[in-house]
Amino acid sequence: MDTTECISNKQWEAYSLGSISKDNLAYMHAHVLECEICADIKEGIDAMANPSQLVQTVTQLNTSIDTKLAPKRATIRPLYYWAAAAAIFIVSTVLMLQVDTQNTPSQQAIRIEVQDTPIIEKPKELALVTPSKQKPKQKAKEYKKPVEIQAVPELMVVDENTRAAVDNTRKEDIVEVVVKSTSEQDDFVTAPKTAPVTVATEETKYLKDSKEKVSSKKAERSIYPSNAASNLSNNAIINQSLSSVEPSFKNTQKDSVSLKLAQEQISRNQYDSAHASLVPILSSNPSNPLFEEALWLEAEINKQKGNQEAYRGFLKRIVSLKGKYYKEAEALLK
What is the pTM assigned to this prediction?
0.29
Closest CA to 1 of 57, 81, 84: 57
Q: Euclidean distance between the first and final Cα of the chain, in Å?
A: 107
> In which band, very low, low, confident or very high, does the pLDDT at 178 lie, cut at 50, 70 and 90?
very low
CATH 1.25.40 placement within the chain: 248-333
Q: Higher pLDDT residue, 320 or 248?
A: 320
Residue 192 has pLDDT above 60, yes or no: no
Identify which of 56-65, 94-103, 118-127, 260-269 has the greatest average pLDDT: 260-269
Higher-pLDDT residue of 255, 205: 255
User: What are the angstrom distances between the C-alpha of 202 and each of 171, 177, 226, 237?
Assistant: 11, 16, 38, 54
Give the DSSP letter of residue 285.
-
**pLDDT exceeds cutoff 80 at 249:** no
φ/ψ region of 141 (left if φ > 0, alpha if ψ in -120 to 50, else beta) reads: beta
Tell me how crowded residue 197 is: count the other CB atoms within 10 A of its CB.
19
Distance between CA atoms of residues 38 and 282, nearest Å: 95
What is the rounded distance in angstroms from the CA atom of residue 303 to the CA atom of residue 107? Answer: 99
Q: What is the DSSP letter of 258?
A: H
Given 3-state DSSP classes, what are the helix, strand and coil percentages for the chain, each rounded to the nearest 5? Answer: 75, 0, 25
Confidence grade of residue 206 (pLDDT, cut at 50, 70, 90) = very low
CATH class of the structural domain 248-333: mainly alpha
Residue 139 confidence (pLDDT) above 80: no
Q: What sign does the dihedral 238-240-246-251 (CA atoms) show?
A: negative
pLDDT at 108 exceeding the cut of 70:
no
